[in-house]
Structure 1
């Protein structure tokens, strides 16, 4: 049965633990400019990277439930950590297409590497899950070197994308990738495209940078087109941003990083917010 007009014109749901998924949402808006987008950022419980996988799964499903209840026609898990933790559960739980960030980026990296040496920079949880190693296992002759870069998320969440401290940390994190002779590097966290400048500077212009954000956006385009789910409304698109933490802070930092892509955000309550320590 063909989708109804209301289903076709329903928004795309994008979920991330914080700001990083905005890089995916912006790329989706570029390739699907007429689609409405609803974004949920779990900023009150971010970052997910250092958390146990079981806790990430719980938090992610609570946020994805919120998006599904909002009536989205597709879910984009715009968080590598959450993709590694919850993808199987999400595909069993929801009746809408699920797009994630790991496999599209891995496929792209395998296609463009010249020497078969692929680097991955990601959060600790994504590194521990070995999600990229698993995704690239089907590509013969491709070796993977992974480096966890937890402070990159902290920089982005603070709106810091340049300066001597960021450069020093980048050089340290990228040493194993350089030592392995990787000619291709997956930005395996959707925060990292916002640090593309410093990462490219350290790695050099001969290294391919593969953004999990842009590959996820291309996958979203492909899935919606293949399933006949693109909107019939060719007017202006709407974007709604729902945040579990401070919505004004989110909007302010987002505007500093991405210009006017985010005008305003609203605070929502999802699950139980852990009490801060210290």
Structure 2
């Protein structure tokens, strides 16, 4: 069967932080990134809408020749991934998310068994992290708090202003107020690593901050080792392509903040997929 690049999908820019970690650990593979910037944000949309948008973008990456797609978006992973995996996958295609790789290993970070989650409203409302952590580690208590202002701050490159410090501190303290025993905070949004120095400034030293990128990259590496039938379909020519459903010039300019280097992006359209397609 013909080889193709590994697809990486996000509703916008945030998935580039995950892509950055993946490309650093596994630089030998080719990748195609798709950001649905024309319809961002996903966080405040219904489950049905996020499912439809995510399915359309995942299928677009399949059309581009990707045998494997990483849904590098917490909201999409929370609201759409499982339904796509169970109901929609064409034969020979695979889709993975960012929630399971994180929740599987979160127990290695906490000693008190109290974990805090900072995420978008959509991710918190879905309870996906709470459900997955309790499934893998029923002895861990999960505390969640939504941070609706953080994504706009990051996308405006406002990472350390006085206002940003104010909002970050408010949200961190609101989470910590839920329990004195929280010793680990998971940054459950791919935008949040860019705020890490500011978050650290308002987090007690004994509380560990966990970002997802490296965990997802390590999980992908292990997945490809466990599934040679998938790995052999993944092209190893180190070619990277970037697509957006919005303005490619704007995408290229902003993407550098998330990916850490210059990005040449191309516009692509994403067509609606009929719900009957399985």
Q: TM-score, normalised by structure 2?
A: 0.89
Tell me the secondary structure at the aligned position of residue 203 of structure 1: coil
Taking the aligned partners of 2:222 and 2:247, their CA distance within structure 1 comes to 34
Match of residue 269 from structure 2: 269
Match of 2:198 in 1: 198
Partner of 2:276: none
2:172 corresponds to: 174
2:134 alignment partner, one of 137, 157, 170:
137
Q: Is the 8 A contact 1:79 1:101 kept in 2?
A: yes
Q: Report if aligned partners of 1:44, 1:245 keep a CA contact under 8 Å in 2.
A: yes
Q: Superposed, which structure 2 residues align to 1:171-250 within 5 Å?
A: 171-179=169-177, 180-181=179-180, 182-228=182-228, 229-230=230-231, 237-250=238-251
How many Å separate the matches in 1 of 2:271 and 2:217?
A: 28
1:21 to 15, 19, 28: 15
SS state at 2:58 partner: helix
Listed as ranges, the gaps of 5+ residues in structure 1 are: 273-278
Q: Which one is further off, 171-180 or 205-214?
A: 205-214
Per-residue CA deviation, residues 217-262 of structure 1 (Å, 9 max, x unaligned), is 21111111211144699975111111011211111112244431x4
Taking the aligned partners of 2:219 and 2:67, their CA distance within structure 1 comes to: 15
Secondary structure of 1:115's counterpart equals coil
**CA shift at 1:98, angstroms?**
2.0
Secondary structure of 1:144's aligned partner: strand
Unaligned runs of 5+ in 2: 273-278
Query: How far, CA to CA, are the matches of 2:259 and 2:108 in structure 1?
Result: 29
**Helix, strand or coil at the partner of 1:137:** helix
Worse-superposed segment, 170-179 or 122-131: 170-179
1:114 aligns with 2:111: yes
Alignment of 1:121-132 (within 5 A): 121-132=118-129
Contact 2:19 2:259 in 1 (8 A): no
Aligned to 1:275: none
Greater Cα shift, 19-28 or 217-226: 217-226
Which shows bigger deviation, 217-226 or 34-43?
A: 217-226
Deviation, structure 1 residue 159: 2.4
